[in-house]
Amino acid sequence: MAEDSWSQEAFRQKWQEQADTMGRFNLAIFGKTGVGKSTLINAVFGEEVAPTGIGEPVTKEDHLYLHLAGFLGLLDTRGLEIGKDTDELISELGEYVKRMREGELAEHIHVAWYCVRATDRRFEDTEAEFIRQLHKLGLPVIAVMTQVPSRHGEHHGDAVTLAEHMAELDLPIVGGRPILVMAAGDDFTGQVEHGLQDLLDATFRVAPEGVEAALAAAQKIDMGRKRKQAQNVVRVASSLALTVGAIPIPIADAGVLIPIQLGMMAKVAAIYGVRMETAALASTVATTLLASAGKSAVVGLLKLIPGAGTIVGGVISAGVAASFTLAVGYAWAAVCGELTQGRLKDANGALDSEMVRELFQKQFAIWFETVRAGKSGSAI
């Protein structure tokens, strides 16, 4: 028990250390009411982020609100209308953007999304002017055309026409044209979600390098980005296990690998954007499994793999220790991927330990095989 709580404490600490290095990705979102901003944010960053709450007012004029949700900061506006109040909005925004730039990168506004609804079939001069002003504040602006109907992978002709029109205006927007999306499908009309990955890719292209990890963690649609960020941490832990295992570890002492793996798991969880408490809880399930049968970690898990047969003479070789750690890392990453998409929950919305256990175990077996077969380089 005492050891358990120590692990938990260490896990939280490692998670926080990692989170601190990642900082925050701050996105400003603009567009008229009803164009689909909240829906878009939900689709890309998850339900918890949607600015249904008020957020914190960040200027004394009270028109700019910052919503913090994990690795995302979302800036939106209240009470001022683009067109009618552009000057006031830009001046308030400019003041805020400049003030934040005096602080560290995690406080800056990194990217702006300007949303236009396809079904409005028009883009006003005042909107173009607003975008130009945003650009002058030094913000990379991505124009997003929302609620774009599609059929068989083709965009609605009217949306394409509107996009062409916008492209001809020579707006200072990323790629010179809007990105066409449908953030949420609709069963009744048969509309399917599309374009979100393009939007995310464009956002990655213009976000400063220093917030790439935070953006990867905050978004929930591209697991590949998360995995890529996690790779390094997993490899470092594996090398560490290799060093520890250079003197063959007696099976009974295989627990020496657990701290290495716990630290790795904490970092991977943060990299994936899994909240600390959820991650800590899920990690206990995984480590219980690692230490299953009340014996050593390695034996416990290797027993689950038919024909692992790598334990010779009652010791674990450096190679096994390293492979084992790699497999733990990637299996855990799979768990984290599911968690960030709101899965592995029971009917009450609480973490479902049984599901976590099953997924981790299954993924571990797969990865251990892959790693031992030397296929990890290309597969991961």
The contact set with ligand GDP (CB under 6 A) reads 31, 33-39, 146-147, 182-184, 186, 191
Site for Mg ion in 311-340 (CB under 5 A): none
We find the least distance from the C-beta atom of residue 108 to ligand GDP, in angstroms, to be 24
Q: Which residues of 258-281 are buried (b: 16+ CB within 10 A; e: fewer)?
A: bbbbbbbbbbbbbbbbbbbebbbb
**Chosen from Mg ion, ligand GDP, none, partner binding at 34 (C-beta under 5 to 8 Å by type):** ligand GDP
The angle formed by the CA atoms of residues 360, 362 and 368, to the nearest 5 degrees, is 95
Query: Six-digit token pair at 141?
Result: 């602006």
Which C-beta is closer to ligand GDP: that of 4 or that of 186? 186
We find the least distance from the C-beta atom of residue 257 to ligand GDP, in angstroms, to be 46
Which C-beta is closer to Mg ion: that of 76 or that of 352? 76
Report d(CA 336, CA 281) in Å as an integer: 12
Q: If phi over 0 gives left and psi between -120 and 50 gives alpha, with beta otherwise, what is residue 147?
A: left
Report d(CA 238, CA 294) in Å as an integer: 24
**Chosen from Mg ion, ligand GDP, none, partner binding at 186 (C-beta under 5 to 8 Å by type):** ligand GDP
Return the DSSP state at 367.
H
Which C-beta is closer to Mg ion: that of 67 or that of 108? 67
We find the least distance from the C-beta atom of residue 105 to ligand GDP, in angstroms, to be 27
Which C-beta is closer to Mg ion: that of 43 or that of 106? 43
We find the least distance from the C-beta atom of residue 32 to Mg ion, in angstroms, to be 10
We find the least distance from the C-beta atom of residue 28 to Mg ion, in angstroms, to be 14
Report d(CA 25, CA 59) in Å as an integer: 19
184 contributes a contact to Mg ion by CB under 5 A: no
Which C-beta is closer to Mg ion: that of 35 or that of 234? 35
Number of residues binding to Mg ion, judged by CB under 5 A? 2
Which C-beta is closer to Mg ion: that of 38 or that of 292? 38
Amino acid at 278: T
**Chosen from Mg ion, ligand GDP, none, partner binding at 318 (C-beta under 5 to 8 Å by type):** none
Q: Check the CA dihedral 18-22-24-27 and report its sign.
A: negative
**Chosen from ligand GDP, Mg ion, none, partner binding at 77 (C-beta under 5 to 8 Å by type):** none
**Chosen from Mg ion, ligand GDP, none, partner binding at 133 (C-beta under 5 to 8 Å by type):** none
The pattern of x and - marking residues 8 through 47 that bind Mg ion according to CB under 5 A reads: -----------------------------xx---------
User: Which residue in the shown chain puts its C-beta closest to ligand GDP?
Assistant: 36
Largest CA distance in the chain: 79
We find the least distance from the C-beta atom of residue 201 to ligand GDP, in angstroms, to be 18
Residue with tokens 């008229």: 32
- CB-based burial of residue 174 (10 Å sphere; 0-12 exposed, 13-18 middle, 19+ buried)? buried
Report d(CA 43, CA 305) in Å as an integer: 38
Which C-beta is closer to Mg ion: that of 29 or that of 286? 29
**Chosen from ligand GDP, Mg ion, none, partner binding at 227 (C-beta under 5 to 8 Å by type):** none
List of residues 6+ apart from 108 with CB closer than 8 A: 26, 97, 100, 101, 208
Question: In 3D, which of 304, 280, 292 has the Cα closest to residue 364?
Answer: 304
Are the C-beta atoms of 234 and 311 separated by less than 8 Å? no
Give the binding site for Mg ion (CB under 5 A): 37-38
